[in-house]
Amino acid sequence: MILKRHEPIAIFDSGIGGLSVLIEIKKILPYEKIIYLADKKKHPFGTRPKDEIEKIAYEIINFLISKNVKMIVIACNTASTIKLDDLRKEYEIPVIGMIEPEVVSQYINKFRGNSVGLIGTTATINSQAYDDVIKKLNTDIKLYSKDCSKLVPLIETGKIESDSFKEELNNCLSLLLSDGITNLIIGCTHFSFIIERINDLLGNNVNVFNPSRFVAHYVKEKLSHEGLLNSFREIYEPEYLITSKRDEFINTGHKMTSLAFKNLKLITI
């Protein structure tokens, strides 16, 4: 497979969460073409068994490869817990996940103290993918993980003003605060859109780290290293591919971001 500079970067997630990664990539790589795929038909990923998550990820990746993309970004922490090394051996294309050592290493030295909280889905927390990467980078860090899966569908449907959302978020963070955390990793891209609310509940004594920004920097570094940065100085509107609930995606996307969604198609994988 010959990868070309002018081909698009593909980004995928189960819904709107990965838009946080798209936004960060567009900030530092404004001239790149982007295809964003939201597999809302199978949303949410985070409460599914491991083998099912792997099957979904492979189906999406095969579909995106058929679109002649030059890189695939798994903008979902849950899908990033599959065996990426095996996947990279199978496909002749750069594949980047949310929990790469090259991503975590960008913010691990910014931690204040060694007590770190992690919020994510059931699948992400159970995989211990963050535990494994952090342990390799710094054995002194104590990681406290909390399954916050119930927040994902509430964010996906834009119900962040509801009492159930506020109660669930408070429950999610209060236990971590009682553990005495001084840092928090946003281990689900959906949670990137509620960081202000998270900061309000945690206060000034906890540093919050959003991996979406650091993934974007790794994408730029990887494309540069592979000689795949787009040489054309033109701004492209992202192409959005949605497998279900088109209107819901647009409505919640507008609520959470400033993206226009001009080029959006309903597809079947």
Known active-site residue 172: no
Instruction: Return the half-sphere exposure (C-beta side, CA atoms, 13 A cut-off) of residue 18.
Output: 31
Known active-site residue 76: yes
Identified catalytic residue from 188, 198, 215, 228 = 188
C-beta atoms surrounding 247 within 10 Å:
8
Identified catalytic residue from 76, 108, 194, 206 = 76
Instruction: Return the half-sphere exposure (C-beta side, CA atoms, 13 A cut-off) of residue 55.
Output: 6
Answer yes or no: are the C-beta atoms of 249 and 16 closer than 8 Å: yes
Rg, the chain, Cα only: 18
Q: How many angstroms separate the CA atoms of 194 and 79, rounded?
A: 21
Straight-line distance from the first to the last Cα atom of the chain, in angstroms, rounded to the nearest whole number: 22
Residue numbers annotated as active site: 76, 188
